[in-house]
Structure 1
Amino acid sequence: MHPVPGPYRPPAPGPFRPVSPPTVEPASEATVEGGGSGHPAVDAVIQALANAADLPPRDQIAEYEAAHSTLQETLATIDQS
């Protein structure tokens, strides 16, 4: 006969380790000659993301969502041409 297991007990949590926020670095290899991506909307998004790094986290979320939306619209426009 097999023993009946007891109630599930999750393991004790480990020590808290804060996570550093990601840093936004310019993509030097992906830029065209003279700097930038070659597309004004994309360059504006890159700059906005760099500026967002200094904002409080709740404000960063809004900037990231706006950047995502702009990049989606830009890609849709490129796909249509």
Structure 2
Amino acid sequence: MTAPYRPGPPPGARPGPPPGIRPAPAVEEVGETRHPAVDAAVRAMANAEALAPADQIAQYEAAYETLRETLASIDQT
């Protein structure tokens, strides 16, 4: 017995979130945090959308590291 045919997305369609999942707010909706390092990391992640996927990874990793270090410094105070 075979599984029923389920068509995929049309050619060129971009995948979206699963039904019932609200996408993350746009950077404009989040606003400034008034912490320069966090604001720069958020902007870098938003700007990464325009890059090739291989280049996005480096941007996301750098933003992650910045946010991790910032949170660690907050925990130490």
Shift of 1:12: 5.5
One-letter identity of the residue aligned with 2:54: R
2:56 is aligned to 60
Structure 2 length as normaliser, TM-score? 0.67
One-letter identity of the residue aligned with 1:71: L
1:15 is aligned to 7
Task: Say which is worse superposed, 70-79 or 53-62, in terms of deviation.
Answer: 53-62
Unaligned runs of 5+ in 2: 18-22
One-letter identity of the residue aligned with 1:56: A
Moved over 3 A (4+): 20-24
Structure 1 length as normaliser, TM-score? 0.65
8 Å CA contact retained: 1:24, 1:49: no
Counterpart-to-counterpart distance in 2, 1:70 and 1:10: 49
Give the share of equivalent positions with the same residue, in percent. 47
One-letter identity of the residue aligned with 1:14: R
| Count of residues paired in the alignment | 68
**Max Rg structure:** 1
Over aligned residue pairs, what C-alpha RMSD do you find? Answer: 2.7
Unaligned runs of 5+ in 1: 1-8
